[in-house]
Structure 1
Amino acid sequence: MYYLQDLTMNAIARELRTSRSTVSRLLSLARDTGLVEIQVNNPAHRAPYLEHEIRRRFGVEAHVVPVSDLISDSEALDRVAIQAARTIGPLVDSNAIIGVAWGSTLSAVSQHLSRRITHDSTIVQLNGAGNTQTTGIAYASEILRRFGHAYGARVEQFPVPAFFDHADTKTAMWAERSVQRILGLQQRMTMAIFGVGSTNSGIPSHVYSGGYLDDADLRALDAEGVVGDVATMFFRSDGSHQDLQINQRSTGPDLELLLRVPRRICIVSGETKISGLRGALAAGLPTDLILDEATARWLVQEV
């Protein structure tokens, strides 16, 4: 009545024999739950052009979020996170297995998810979160809990470190049946949602700022030409990653496995992540990309 028939709230209240305040509350609820989505087509901004160029050059579905250059990195991240949450919601179906990474970007997205009830769906953690200072369970589980609550899905945590000290330890752990159950879920994922980690972003990626990598690790990454990571799996600017030693110790999904997931949603905020984003695109990791307008401009200009 309100959006399609252009009735006023007073007219709707009379017809439904209720109060105007109830109609207002229901309209707000419709937006909050994702039943109604608002799209503004502003001819003044360049988002449609940038989306077309990114789609043409990289073969991904792009969603560019108009963000002023005058706002802070944290404000820009929050606006991208709001758009990402609204974009992801309609894509989530029943009987889905959705892999979710942890990190600053996904934490922000998880706080803006709208309710969309599904049936027999599962949220599975993509990579471990423990390090020498913390188990990481509280941090990662809160992100997963929000996703599970939003979509009425089961949540499967992955209680292992982000990185093992030795590759042999990972090999042994991966043979355990309890771990294989989580790995089996990851192998059947229908969707993966992740950000791109970077050492020099305006808002430091949690894997770099949270004590997960020591000085020796950071020097090794620099020596091997690493530009970023997805779910603690690292890659170079050309997308290569198979021979990186740190990936042998990481608990993130093998990037070849990730490439087999039908829908892979990458969320990026901040042009300082451009090198990591270009590496992720070179590796073919995203099928869908949600990013701010400034980063989109850099991405198009630097190709």
Structure 2
Amino acid sequence: MAAAETSERTRDALRAAHLYYMQDLTMEAIATELRTSRSSVSRLLSFARETGLVDIQIRSPLEVPGQLAATVRARFGVTAHVIPVPDSTSDVDRLERVALSAARTLTSFVDSNMAIGVAWGSTVGAISRYLTPKPTHNSSIVQLNGAGNTQTTGIAYASEILHRFGSNFDADVQQFPVPAFFDDPATKQMMWRERSTRRLLDIQARLDLVLFGIGTPLAEVPSRVYMGGYLDEPDYTALVADGVVGDIATVFYRADGSTDGVAMNARGSGPSFATLRRVPRRVCVVAGVSRLPSLRGALAARLVTDLFIDETTARGLVA
């Protein structure tokens, strides 16, 4: 689409949106005023929503999701966004609906001069597909953990997710080109002393916002780290022996949120939980009751400030 045509459509979409949302005109009335059809007005309003010209927010403490959100906040001290999803919905569709809602709201969290940490994975990948454009300046999208393994560098997969965030927010992208897990903890320690790696670690230590999903081997939509060739049989045996219930950015933890003594973490490339807790806003997105044990561990670790969760899983959390 040519720039002039795009500009004209944006102008028309803004006018239609103002008439519809601010002046309460019907689509028929708007069509008459703009001398176009009702279907064209509908497309203009959709364009306004999809491109971020219009930001729709719903706040109601009266319906069940609102009540659940209040209960989650009171019990766990986090701001909850409960997304209505029928119990019969598959985990695949559940994730898509939660990811869409999270992506729409995430735009309001992001602003200029921010460093935003992103943990690649199935959940964050879904969110990246629904982002609404919001131009910022002097902002950075920072990869939280490495993505390489013995089968792939992981660069193509992780960079696609990061690129979507960077494009949507006009932000610089800082990739972290290291393995998800090192073979030897000593190799990791040497790599962490390199100046090029130190630069990324220093950026991670000054983040304004982090976005992550919760990894678990039990979900209907498997976590990327458990299905992408990152772990072998001895690794799974070690995780079971250490009582692990999940991971965030390839850092594994137990049901009480503890990470001390989890052998795999000495080889992992993700940020420590102490580093994550220093980030002012920590956005966690969860879909599916199979992730409840992992979610409870993350809440016990005090890693979450904002939680996006489907209604069924939220009921299970507070049951």
TM bracket, shorter-chain basis: over 0.9
CA deviation profile, 1:18-40 (whole Å, cap 9, x unmatched): 53466444322221123323345
Give, as a single letter, the amino acid of the residue that structure 2 aligns with 1:19: T
The aligned residue for residue 243 of structure 1 is 261
8 A contact 2:242–2:261 mirrored in 1: no
- Give yes or no for contact 1:45–1:66 (8 Å, CA) kept in 2: no
Q: What one-letter code is carried by the residue in structure 1 that aligns with 2:290?
A: T
The aligned runs of 1:139-288 (5 Å cut-off) are 139-288=157-306
Identity %: 58
Q: Where in structure 2 are the equivalents of 1:14-163 lying within 5 Å?
A: 15=33, 19-20=36-37, 23-39=41-57, 46-163=64-181
Cα deviation, 1:74-109, whole Å, max 9, x if unaligned, reads 111100010110110111010010000011111111
Aligned-residue CA RMSD (Å): 1.7
**What do the CA deviations read for 1:11-66 (whole angstroms, capped 9, x no partner)?**
44555x55346644432222112332334578995211110111001100000111
CA contact (8 A) 2:61 2:67 kept: no
Whether the 8 Å contact between 2:60 and 2:66 is mirrored in structure 1 is: no
Which residue identity lines up with residue 51 of structure 1 in the other structure? A
| SS of corresponding position for 1:106 | helix
1:37 and 1:212 map into 2 onto residues whose CA distance is: 39
TM (normalized to structure 1)? 0.94
SS of 1:2's equivalent in the other structure is helix
The secondary structure found in structure 1 opposite 2:22 is coil
Is contact 1:187-1:257 (8 Å) kept? yes
The structure 1 segments of at least 4 consecutive aligned residues displaced by more than 6 Å after TM superposition are 41-44
One-letter code aligned to 1:300: V
The answer (yes or no) to whether the contact 2:142–2:175 under 8 Å persists in 1 is yes
Shift of 1:242: 2.6
Q: Tell me the matched-pair count.
A: 300
Shift of 1:201: 1.1
TM-score with structure 2 setting the length: 0.90
Structure 1 position 295 matched with structure 2 position 292: no
